[in-house]
Amino acid sequence: MATISDINRLGEHEGSTVLVRGWVLTVRTHGKVGFVVVRDGTGIVQCVVVQKQVSEQVWTDFQSLTQETSVYVTGSVRADARAPGGYELTLETLEIVGRSEDYPIQPKEHGVDFLLDHRHLWLRSQQQRAIMRVRNEVEQAIHDFFYDRGFTRIDTPILTGAIGEGGAGLFEVDYFDEKAYLAQTGQLYGEAAAAALGRIYCFGPTFRAEKSKTRRHLTEFWMVEPEVAWNDNDANMELQEQFVSYIVERALERCQEELKVLERDTSKLEPVKPPFPRLDYGDAVKLLQEQGNEITWGDDLGAPDETVIGNMHDRPVFIVNYPKAAKAFYMKENPADPRTVLCNDLIAPEGYGEIIGGSQREDDYDKLLERIREEGLPEDSYRWYLDLRKYGTFPHSGFGLGIERTVAWITGRPHIREMIPFPRMLNRIYP
């Protein structure tokens, strides 16, 4: 048995007979010669069926093939520059494993709702397979980046009693007669782990109960969150520059075929190298006002604002020092301007908006307690978090990168619902 990628990549099977297991993509017949294209998850290969060279049963079975029928095929490998991977099989035997009658997704236009209702089948299409491979490469690059730099991965809770970002976006669950929430972030637990291990990251699903229908939002998405002891805000942004540049470089290096399938203009990703521009929040507001945006100092930046600023640059741009009231309670007060906090959003170009939010964390016990009280958060739920400032407080910083938004930017796709195998959105939990 051989995988199709081995046949196409190595070339060592040329002239030999191999067994391939997979699913039928297309079938066509020209008189007494037929062609069936098979995929196996690693690639695609064309099989040539010559009626006089196969048994009557094989020819009959070949004529009955339909899209997505699962099959075993054996055949001899020969080079052909016109074939999808440079090789094709001269088919010898064919065994039908599972028939596929009236496959719902046909080579025609389908509405998005139809495709999402059939997401379990839509994943099999060429573009969706390409997206999942890019996502896989991005995730592997994340692990490699942190492993090579001495970070320890920490798995943080999905169920939590401590709110990370804000009460409005919480999924509340009953936890044995106690109130609990699906985690918005693993950051608070990551801070505790940073005090133990120095350089850590967590990586997992996060949840936001936001009633949003924009192309940038999901109710369940994946986020990677590093936390580094002793890093200040500047060191935190330097890490982000290195991290994002590494991910993009890996995708350009190892996902050329997938990006080609997705018709991504990769020249727009090539400038993504450090340093990234840095823009103070106050300057960003003035710039947006000059562009006619109705924004005043103190407002958080919305998607249209991020798009305007992102499109002014050929690489991601940092917006730094947001107003304290617009950001989370755990961000460190800016000593140069106490109205603001030491934080950043990293905005991707081409209209993809914020892909990272980061900050230096408030390490002063009294100031953190004051912020918790200002936000009306339950102090009892944060006793353990305050302990981190009570027993050996230390400067530290971290950030969170959203996987789906990052993959959407790298692949050039317009909506993040295609960036995750089974998207969860407002009014959609099927399949």
Q: What is the pLDDT of residues 37-80, one digit of tens each?
A: 999 999 999 999 999 999 999 999 999 999 999 999 999 999 99
Q: What is the pLDDT of residue 213?
A: 84
The two three-digit tokens of residue 116, written as one number: 């999402």
The residue with tokens 């340093």 is 275
* CATH 1.20.1730.10 is held by the domain 121-419: no
Which letter does DSSP use for residue 331 in this model? B
C-alpha separations of 325 from 41, 295, 322, 331, 377 in Å: 49, 15, 8, 11, 15
Does residue 4 contact residue 42 with C-beta atoms inside 8 Å? yes
The reported pLDDT for the residue numbered 319 is 98
Give the pair of three-digit tokens for residue 305.
């604002």
Query: What was the pLDDT predicted at 81?
Result: 86
The CATH code belonging to domain 4-98 is: 2.40.50.140
| Packing angle, helices 403-411 and 233-254, rounded to 10 | 50
Name the 3-class secondary structure at 338.
Answer: coil
Is 276 in contact with 316 (CB distance < 8 Å)?
yes
- Model pLDDT, residue 262: 98
Residue 214: the pLDDT is: 85
Please classify residue 244 by burial: count the beta carbons closer than 10 Å to its beta carbon, then call 0-12 exposed, 13-18 middle and 19+ buried. buried
In 3-state terms, what secondary structure has residue 414? coil
At 164 the pLDDT is 66
SS3 state of residue 300: coil
Q: Cα(416)–Cα(431) distance, rounded to whole angstroms? A: 17
Give the start-to-end residue ranges of the domains of the chain: 4-98, 121-419
Question: In whole angstroms, how far apart are CA 305 and each of 25, 295, 302, 316, 327?
Answer: 43, 9, 5, 14, 17
Q: pLDDT digit of tens for each residue in the chain (431 aa)?
A: 889 999 987 677 889 999 999 999 999 999 999 999 999 999 999 999 999 999 999 999 999 999 999 999 999 999 998 888 889 999 999 999 999 999 999 888 899 999 999 999 999 999 999 999 999 999 999 999 999 999 999 999 999 987 766 666 899 999 999 989 999 999 999 999 999 999 999 999 999 998 888 888 999 999 999 999 999 999 999 999 999 999 999 999 999 999 999 999 999 999 999 999 999 999 999 999 999 999 999 999 999 999 999 999 999 999 999 999 999 999 999 999 999 999 999 999 999 999 999 999 999 999 999 999 999 998 999 999 999 999 999 999 999 999 999 999 999 999 999 999 999 999 999 99
Amino acid identity for residue 294 in this structure: E
DSSP state, residue 352: T
Q: What pLDDT is stored for residue 2 in this prediction?
A: 86
Tokens of 253: 């290096």
Q: State residue 303's pLDDT score.
A: 93
Per-residue model confidence (pLDDT) at position 166: 63
Q: Answer whether 281's CB lies under 8 Å from 320's CB.
A: yes
Read off the pTM: 0.95
Q: In CATH terms, are 4-98 and 121-419 the same topology? A: no
pLDDT of 25 reads 96
How many C-beta atoms surround the C-beta of residue 388 within 10 A? 20
